[in-house]
Structure formats: C-alpha cells, structure tokens
Amino acid sequence: MTGPLLRVQDLYVHYSTRRGYVRALEGITLDVYPSETLGIVGETGCGKSTLGKAILGILPPRTRVSGQILLAGVELTKLRREEYRMIRGKDIALIFQDPMTRLNPLMTIEDHFIEEIQSHENVSKNMARERAREALVSMGIHESRIKNYPHEFSGGMRQRIMIAMALVLKPSLLIADEPTTSLDVIVESQILEVFHDLKRGYKMSLLLITHNMGTVAEVCDRVAVLYAGRLVEIGSVKQVFHKPLHPYTQGLLASIIHLETKELHSIEGSPPDLISPPEGCHFHPRCQFAQPICVEKDPPLEEFEPGHFAACHFGDKFL
C-alpha cells in the first residue's frame, strides 16, 4: 500500500448563515497515508473541526461543500446517504473534544456499543456485547461497568469509552478532534499513550486535530497548519518544527510555553472574519513580514523542500 488512504482535494466548505457564507475551508488538499499520524493545527475557528466533520459528511444541512474526499480510492462525497452512513464508524471514526456531552445520558455504555455494532454488522446482541467488553477492557475500563450510565464515569473514562467505541469496528482512519482539550494533564498523557499504542498495534491512520504543538511533536509524523480556512504549511514534524516556512507557523511555535519562558509570545491581532476574509494572503494583516505583494496576490502552496509545502511568497527566505 503506497497510495494515500485518505485524499482530500480542493475541499471548500461554506457554512450558510444569516450574514452570508462563512468560508470555513478554502481549497484544502492533503493526503493521509496508511498507519500515519497527521496533525492538524491552527487557532480556534480556523476550520480544523470543520475538516473532520466534512470528511465524515456530518456538516449541518444547507452547507455548501465542493471538492473531493477519497477514502482508499472511493469518492465519499458522491456516495448515497446510506452508503456514506455505513462508512461512518466502520471505516472512519471520529473522537470529539468534549466527552462529557457526547454520550446519550439515557443509554448505558453497553447499549451504546450494541447499537453501534449492530448498525454496521449483522451480529447477535451477545456477540456485540462480547466485543464491547473486549474494547472497554483494552481501554482500561473494568468490564463490570458496562451496564453503567455515562454520568457515572469521569471525563477521562468517558473519553476512553468514546475511543473504545471508535475502535470497536476497527476503522482504517481515526479522526481525533482535540481529544484531550477538556481533560487534565495526567489524563491527557494517558490518552496520548493510547494513541501511541494504536499506531503500533492497530496500524491505523490517525488525523489528530489539536491546537497543542506539544501533542503534535509527541504523537504525529506529519503536521498540517491551517489558518483562516486555508492550508498554510504541511510537512514532516521535523521539517515544520525546525524550519517553519510560514510566518504563522513561526508564530505558533514561538508561542509554545517552555520552562524558561519569561514573557509569553503571541501573534498580534485575531483571525479574520471568514465571511469577508482579507484580500491576498489571509495572514497579511497580522504578518510582520508583509509586503505589498501579500495584499495583492494569494500565495499558492509550493514545495520548498521534499515533502515540505508552504503558502508564503517568501517561503524560500525562511529555508
């Protein structure tokens, strides 16, 4: 298997609102290879979660979507509703950032699993229950708790339950949308450990959406940086962390807090309004290197070194 497992090509997502269309994603193109972990980073509101939902086809109704999403060569956007539904959970699974509210409060954990397994595979209740038990135990939750309700678990446990649910059908792609944001540091490191194991054990591709550069450095193979709905930089973690080519990536990396940090660095300004984004490069109003050309021309994504792409007119200056 040399080809990409997931190929997103020229993906545009525009949310319809009263004030007009919010350009949440504008022409995203990226590949995820088998058993690779790709990190997606960016500020709040840059389109990270939208990307995850677009791949699963669970965007709200009346959202304009164009472009191609191919999973193992199958064009997802052209699938019929029922076929798309069968892919969700079975081939692609999504873990959300807020485990506290993602489980149905009126269903036991067992019911969640049985319903999920039976909606994809024609198996008996007992078989489904058995697999649910296995999946829970593999996430370190005791099987005696399978008949408990969601409110009887802590946040970290619920996230592990969500992960167990995402993994029980052995999907080839797991999308984790800020899986550790709402959890404390110790639980976070446990969850990240789980992802490490997944990569080794299941040979699963992981799309890790996060705003935590530390998590990316720890878990990911490659990283893609989103800004205002556009892909501004993509490359291996090593390349991007050592030679960030886009000023936005440089800003993100500079704002990581180290033990020696005396003064917190931050990027001036705030992300643009995506209903009427700025002309040219979306980042120019906040960029300290901005030149007249940045206002006039939208920089294309260019390859500056093998496998390392960036969308900046002056990318070669930062090499």
Interacting residue ranges for another protein, rule: CB under 8 A: 53, 56, 58, 61, 82, 85-90, 93-94, 96, 98, 101-107, 111, 115-116, 119-120, 147, 162, 165-166
Cα end-to-end span (Å), the chain: 32
From the list 251, 232, 223, 225, the residue with the least C-alpha distance to 299 is 232
Angle at 164 between CA 162 and CA 170, to 5 degrees: 120
In this complex, which beta carbon is closest to another protein, that of residue 99 or of residue 299?
99
The encoded tokens of residue 200 equal: 């080794």
Query: Shortest distance, CB of residue 119 to another protein, whole angstroms?
Result: 6
Do residues 188 and 180 lie in contact, with contact meaning Cβ atoms separated by under 8 Å?
yes
In this complex, which beta carbon is closest to another protein, that of residue 93 or of residue 245?
93
In this complex, which beta carbon is closest to another protein, that of residue 159 or of residue 250?
159
The torsion angles phi and psi of 305, rounded to 5 degrees, stand at -145, 165
Q: Quote helix, strand, coil % in the chain, to nearest 5.
A: 35, 25, 40
DSSP 88: B
In this complex, which beta carbon is closest to another protein, that of residue 111 or of residue 305?
111
In this complex, which beta carbon is closest to another protein, that of residue 1 or of residue 106?
106
Query: Shortest distance, CB of residue 89 to another protein, whole angstroms?
Result: 3
Query: Shortest distance, CB of residue 175 to another protein, whole angstroms?
Result: 9
From the list 21, 91, 100, 102, the residue with the least C-alpha distance to 55 is 91
Q: Provide the 3-class DSSP secondary structure of residue 311.
A: coil
In this complex, which beta carbon is closest to another protein, that of residue 164 or of residue 287?
164
Query: Shortest distance, CB of residue 31 to another protein, whole angstroms?
Result: 22
Query: Shortest distance, CB of residue 2 to another protein, whole angstroms?
Result: 28
In this complex, which beta carbon is closest to another protein, that of residue 102 or of residue 211?
102
Query: Shortest distance, CB of residue 225 to another protein, whole angstroms?
Result: 24
Query: Shortest distance, CB of residue 244 to another protein, whole angstroms?
Result: 32
DSSP 154: -
The torsion angles phi and psi of 276, rounded to 5 degrees, stand at -130, 80
Could you tell me the strand order of the sheet in which 6-17 lies? 20-32, 6-17, 64-71, 74-75
